[in-house]
Amino acid sequence: DHTRFVQSVRYSPNGELFATAGFDGKLFLYNAKEYTQVGEVGDPAHSGGIYGVAWSPDNTRLLTASGDKTCRLWDAGTMSLVSEFTFGKDILDQQVSCLWQGNYILSVSLSGFINYLDINNPCKPLRIIKIACTFSGYSLTHGAPFWDISSGDHDRVEGPGHTNQVQDMTTGTDVIYTCGVDDTVRAIDAITNRYNSLEVKTDSQPKGIAAANDDVLIIAEYNDITVMDRGQKKTCLQVEYEPSCVSVHPVETDVAVGGHKDHKVHIYLLNGYTLSLKTTLDEHRGAITDVAYSPDGSYLAACDGNRKVILYRALTYELAHNLDWCFHTARVNSISWTPDSQHLATGSLDTGIIIWSVEQPNKHINIKKAHPQSQITRVAFLDNNTLVSTGQDSNIKIWEITYS
């Protein structure tokens, strides 16, 4: 009876009827014994495709979720509309699933939000669980959502954000700067958690971003390194090694940039807005994937696609030790330092996390399968004993680290 794809088929709890819903916006009821049509509900039930159907436990009502950004409650006996739950007008407000569980009726928005629907007030859900990582103070951000670590509250970052994947983030003065695959640099107000009007087009695709003093930004791009100050591009240094990541020394003018093609770490001096090459580190045998200066400025850590993590003494860039930090079994993706600069964490394609010790470089903590079946995309220390990790399994995990 449907003219387009059937998206959902659901039997009533007592097994006497089943409902079918499709992209044609139609909802049909059928007799479960004879497979004959009982009737069409709504004619049509929705102005957009229906993604989900759920029965009430007593078999008397049906809940539908639709791409027309509404959910509707139907009387199964009369096949008439009981109530309509309205959401916003954004494409992310499309309703893509629904569930009737005991006394609770829920829907899922395209944004990932889970809505607890209120039969007595269809215009406002009882509760919304907002599902969603650069670490900033006590908030985690990755693309559109943000999380407050102290309270667990989370919400979407509003405003004119990126139109494609966010590559990296860094903190400035009351602002979080972001760069994305849409070849722009944008800024989130850290107080209101909204993107402001800043939108700067980069000369090539940005791979990493780091902030120096007074909101001066260093952006590692595919073909160049850009120095930006409060939304104004100041200088652009053309390079051939394809920058992949960047870190700025917390006190001195040193800037570390990882190379993808040449497998080297390039150290620059920032004089005003001008970058000049200081030295090049060539101990790596794989593409540099992340670089990070320690908070006290004593060390620079770098990791690569050949499983290695190397610790350098900052400013002189001598090796901090002669041990081989190569305990990951695949590409290392991310580095994070503890605030006291005594330990650093790395996350890898091998799904594991390793905690390294500066004072005891021959000792490490290996968290295997930290995100099972998924590579680690980012790690960040909240304090000396609390680590956050994110993975391609769409999970954010918080770890309590105890050092022996």
Q: What tens digit of pLDDT does each residue of 11-32 get?
A: 999 999 999 999 999 999 999 9
Tell me the CA end-to-end span of the chain in Å, nearest whole number: 67
CB 344 within 8 A of CB 338: yes
Per-residue model confidence as pLDDT tens digits over 51-82: 999 999 999 999 999 999 999 999 999 999 99
Other C-beta atoms closer than 10 Å to the C-beta of 374 total 16
What residues does each domain of the chain span?
6-130, 134-400
CB 345 within 8 A of CB 356: yes
The pTM (predicted TM-score) of the whole model is: 0.75
Instruction: Give residue 322's identity as a one-letter amino acid code.
Output: N
* 90 pLDDT above the threshold of 50: yes
Closest CA to 55 of 26, 36, 77, 35: 77
CB 384 within 8 A of CB 338: yes
For the chain, helix, strand, coil in percent to 5 are 0, 55, 45
Contacts by 135-139, CB closer than 8 A, 24 or more apart? 135/336, 135/380, 135/381, 135/382, 135/388, 136/169, 136/171, 136/176, 136/190, 137/171, 137/190, 138/382, 139/190, 139/193
d(CA 247, CA 253): 11
d(CA 51, CA 116): 17
What's the pLDDT score for residue 131? 60
What's the pLDDT score for residue 382? 94
What's the pLDDT score for residue 82? 96
d(CA 28, CA 40): 4
The mean pLDDT value of the chain amounts to: 93
Who has greater pLDDT, 394 or 10? 10
d(CA 109, CA 22): 17
The pLDDT-based confidence of 84 (bands split at 50, 70, 90) is very high
What's the pLDDT score for residue 142? 42
The pair of three-digit structure tokens given for residue 276, joined into one six-digit string? 């000049």
Q: Do domains 6-130 and 134-400 have the same CATH topology?
A: yes
What's the pLDDT score for residue 149? 73
d(CA 211, CA 61): 56
Residue 93 main-chain phi, psi, to 5 deg: -85, 0
Per-residue model confidence as pLDDT tens digits over 272-317: 999 999 999 999 999 999 999 999 999 999 999 999 999 999 999 9
Which CATH class name applies to 6-130? Answer: mainly beta
Other C-beta atoms closer than 10 Å to the C-beta of 320 total 17
What's the pLDDT score for residue 197? 93
Who has greater pLDDT, 190 or 227? 227
Q: What is the mean pLDDT of residues 386-397?
A: 91
The pLDDT-based confidence of 218 (bands split at 50, 70, 90) is very high
What's the pLDDT score for residue 144? 53
The answer as to CATH 1.10.10.60 being correct for domain 134-400 is: no
Per-residue model confidence as pLDDT tens digits over 145-168: 677 777 767 777 888 888 888 899
Contacts of 115 (CB under 8 A, 6+ apart): 85, 87, 106, 107, 108, 109, 125, 127, 128
What whole-number percentage of the chain has pLDDT above 90? 82
The pLDDT-based confidence of 138 (bands split at 50, 70, 90) is very low
What's the pLDDT score for residue 143? 47
Q: What is the mean pLDDT of residues 316-336?
A: 96
